[in-house]
Amino acid sequence: MIKATYHKYILHFKVPSGTSRGILKTKETWFLHLNKDGKFGIGECGLFRGLSIDDRPDYEDKLKWVCNNIGIGLERLLEKTYDFPSIQIGIEQAFLSLQSSFPFKLFASDFTESNKGLAINGLIWMGDRQFMKDQIKDRIAQGFHCIKMKIGAINFQSEIELLASIRKEFSIKDIELRVDANGAFQSSEALDKLKILSSYDIHSIEQPIKQGQIEEMALLCEQSPLPIALDEELIGVFDVTKKKELLQIINPQYIILKPSLIGGFKGSLEWIDLANDSGIEWWVTSALESNVGLNAIAQWTATLKSSMPQGLGTGSLFTNNFDCPLKVNNGMLHYEKNKNWNFNLI
């Protein structure tokens, strides 16, 4: 018989991190623990307050329900938690972990077995111009060839000047530039801003306007000289038919898959299949999970064999994260299989 428990854990940022939703100092997360005949399983329920569709007052009640009903099995649990995507991925991880010979080895690939790296983007957090410029220099010095810059928090002209200064020094052959507006643009001004951004050889822009403006987003994707990637737009869309309808109406150039926010690995694979059918490209992004969740998402991403740089975190943002085999070198995420974990909640 499987026994299940859960624990809440607060991650603390080393440096308060700016987004279009404000300054982040802490990140709440939850761990689901399974125990069967002396074997352990662990999964992270990466709740993201203010962004997750399951940021609800009954969140902990649902975790209790999962623990009390763990015996109904993986598939039934996923069915019963369809509107709690961060719990779904925690369940998926925990069952995979329980079945594994090692709790943190969930998916076998060249990434876990042969130290083959995953290309990732270097993330630039919002802040004043000098702070962002310093981060960009650091990421380039660290060997990143793809940089993702969050925009929409400071003056747009200042952001354009920053992008211009990057392109003056580094061409499109040197650095792939992605920008993420997190829905910061007004729909009435978005197209004009996208036209301005397009002159700086930008790879793509994530979520230029707020989610839920389906017709406006569809028009933008049709008219924009800059490729658009849907991000928040995917959150809260659970039904496969509705997923297909959304992609058909908006017809974006890319979609961004955050498994903790869109239904775990199973929900993400539904989006991937639909995107592939429609000729829409995609990449995977983590959502400020601890190294437990990041490890699982990175291993799963490696099995997809995408050649695009992924939006996977580096695990270095928090003061109280867990030592793990993940390491970044020259813009690549590696799994050092001989390195031990330090996880003290089991």
Which residues are designated catalytic? Answer: 150, 258
Tell me which residue of 340, 337, 300, 343 sits closest to 321, measured CA to CA. Answer: 343
CA separation for the pair 26, 10 (Å, rounded): 7
- Please, what sign has the CA dihedral across residues 26, 28, 32, 33? positive
The backbone torsions φ and ψ at residue 268, rounded to the nearest 5 degrees and listed phi first, read -65, -40
Helices 156-169 and 187-197 cross at an angle (nearest 10°) of: 20
Q: Which amino acid is at 243?
A: K
Three-class secondary structure of residue 80 per DSSP:
helix
Eight-class DSSP state of 217: H
Taking CA atoms, 192 is separated from 27, 65, 181, 219, 226, in Å, by 35, 49, 14, 13, 11
Three-class secondary structure of residue 136 per DSSP:
helix
Which tokens is 31 given?
Answer: 């761990």
Q: Which amino acid is at 274?
A: L
Helices 85-99 and 59-68 cross at an angle (nearest 10°) of: 30
